[in-house]
Chains A and B, each alone.
Chain A
């Protein structure tokens, strides 16, 4: 789409810029400040240059956490995006049933994250939790997320998919409703199959909302903290210690602000680079479709 060219549009963007920059720039610069200094107390700090960055980058526990984090976020995207779209497609188009479905879908999203972890602890307990009892006593699978790393992973993934797939569904559903009926009528006249309608009408039209869904799910899952921390505490062993759990261990546990700040900046840059790649790729896919 050819846009109008006008720098006066900046006036429309200015309020957003002011509001966001107010909360963004000063804290970011403060963290940059921390990351290059060794802080012993108020007024007692030494400039150390890139020492913290070198120390953090050579930390093998951080590298392990990064690998776990990448696998986790990759799985999250591979499961939640297709599942979310599929569910949006099964939702009815109108009537009271839609209202009911939308409200039900939104429920998991509205629970504070620390509560979600706490409820899942009980939900998964082999002796008193619904899912734990079902898996262990009814199906006879020995499932205990506090003992086996594989079980802990499955638990965190289940919780994550349960919690966040509705977000993808709601976005995809709103996107689907925004497709004018004329497109479907044209497809019906051409005798297009359901798959063709999905591939050539619905999917391209969903590009905008799916870009948002993919970026949001990627960055939020990459920064995930409260739910796995409450559910597994990063264990058993270090098997579910994701990046931010390790970061908090470093920042709070060892009270080491310098390395933690350096870690934060590296962490931020990793998320940034991945999001940029996703964003560019999705933009290109779209232009490819249009030609």
Chain B
């Protein structure tokens, strides 16, 4: 494809991608009755009331704070345990390695509906119900396997000669890992961090089951928009717009790691 057609294709795709988001923005600036009453390409009489309600009602904004707390805990924790494990899978052969690697991913494959009750019982037994830690820990079930898989893919792309040279040069394992290896796979770490953040951020069922009030996530708070008078579409759209913000910040911070990629010459 010539550069011109390529850019046009990309712009067309991004435009289509943004249309539903634009519609959400449009809805968030209107009242519910206005949305249901007539079609409007842009809000004729934009109102910020939906956003003001979210920022002034503790029931609403605490949902965002709770979500950010447990999602950050989960992302950091997933990366910390997954980094050494992914290194082991990409560099060593050991007893049961292939089975273990695939077993990890099987933890993402169970349909959640029926598993919620045992989860609730398990976390009640150990007294973690309605804490951020409970949600962060339970989300490790699907984020840690993902992190291991993604990181292993990136680590396998790094030639093993780099490890060998470093060990010959007298690096100890921890020093080699932190000083040489981790910088080499920043792309992978950036992508993984974003995915862990994203999957934990949008997960609703576990987060809702394991919390009642103190750690209630934003996705669960949103179900409050259903009232006797029906759904408050404008408020829900405003809340939806605001759920995008933290993740967009995360990807903004990791974008350089994704864009720079892998430069062998740096070692």
Contacts and interface: CB of A to CB of B under 8 A. Distances in A.
Interface of A: 1, 3-10, 12-13, 15-17, 19-20, 22-24, 26-28, 30-31, 34, 86-87, 89-91, 94, 98-99, 101-115, 118-120, 122-123, 127-131, 133, 162, 166, 170-171, 173-175, 177-180, 194, 205, 208-209, 211-212, 215-216, 219-220, 223, 225-226, 243-244, 247-248, 251-252, 257, 260-261, 263-264, 267-268, 271-272, 275-276, 279
B23 A113 contact: no
A13 B160 contact: no
Interface in B86-132: 87-89, 91-95, 97, 100, 102, 104-115, 117-119, 121-122
From A12, A104, A105, A118, residue with most partner B Cβ within 10 Å: A12
Contact of A177 (B1, B93, B261): B261
A162 B20 contact: yes
B187 A118 contact: no
Given A115-B236, A162-B17, 18 more contacts: A12-B87, A15-B81, A16-B81, A31-B118, A101-B14, A103-B248, A108-B17, A108-B20, A112-B201, A112-B222, A119-B23, A171-B150, A173-B258, A174-B258, A209-B153, A226-B204, A247-B111, A275-B105
A17 B140 CA distance: 11
B150 A212 contact: yes
B264 A180 contact: yes
B240 A111 contact: yes
From A98, A104, A110, residue with most partner B Cβ within 10 Å: A110
A220 B194 CA distance: 17
Interface in B119-158: 119, 121-122, 137-138, 140-141, 144-146, 148-150, 152-154, 156-157
Contact of A20 (B94, B144, B260): B144
A257 B148 contact: no
A177 B111 contact: no
Nearest to B6: A90
Contact of B114 (A22, A215, A260): A260
Nearest to B160: A1
Contact of A90 (B9, B109, B118): B9
Please tell me the size bucket of the interface on B.
35 or more
A90 B7 contact: yes
B237 A264 contact: no
B9 to A, nearest CB: 5
Given A28-B110, A110-B247, A112-B243, A9 B88 contact: yes
Given A24-B141, A174-B187, A251-B113, A123 B20 contact: yes
A261 B115 CA distance: 8
B218 interface: yes
A5 B243 contact: no
A10 to B, nearest CB: 6
B10 A128 contact: no
Contacts of B153: 175, 208-209, 211-212
A16 B146 CA distance: 11
A25 B95 CA distance: 21
B191 interface: yes
B36 interface: yes
A225 B111 CA distance: 9
The 4 closest A-B pairs by CB, nearest first: A177-B261, A208-B153, A110-B247, A9-B92
Contacts of A177: 187, 258-262
Nearest to B109: A271
A104 B16 CA distance: 11
A23 B138 contact: yes
A160 B122 CA distance: 33
Given A120-B20, A128-B38, A16 B144 contact: yes
B111 A114 contact: no
A23 B94 contact: no
Contact of A272 (B37, B109, B149, B264): B109
A20 B204 CA distance: 19
B70 interface: no
B73 interface: no
Contact of A264 (B102, B113, B256, B260): B113
Nearest to A34: B114
Interface in B11-64: 13-14, 16-24, 26-27, 35-39, 41
Contact of A4 (B91, B263, B264): B91
Contacts of A175: 153
B157 A178 contact: yes
Contacts of B111: 223, 243-244, 247, 264, 267-268
B88 A166 contact: no
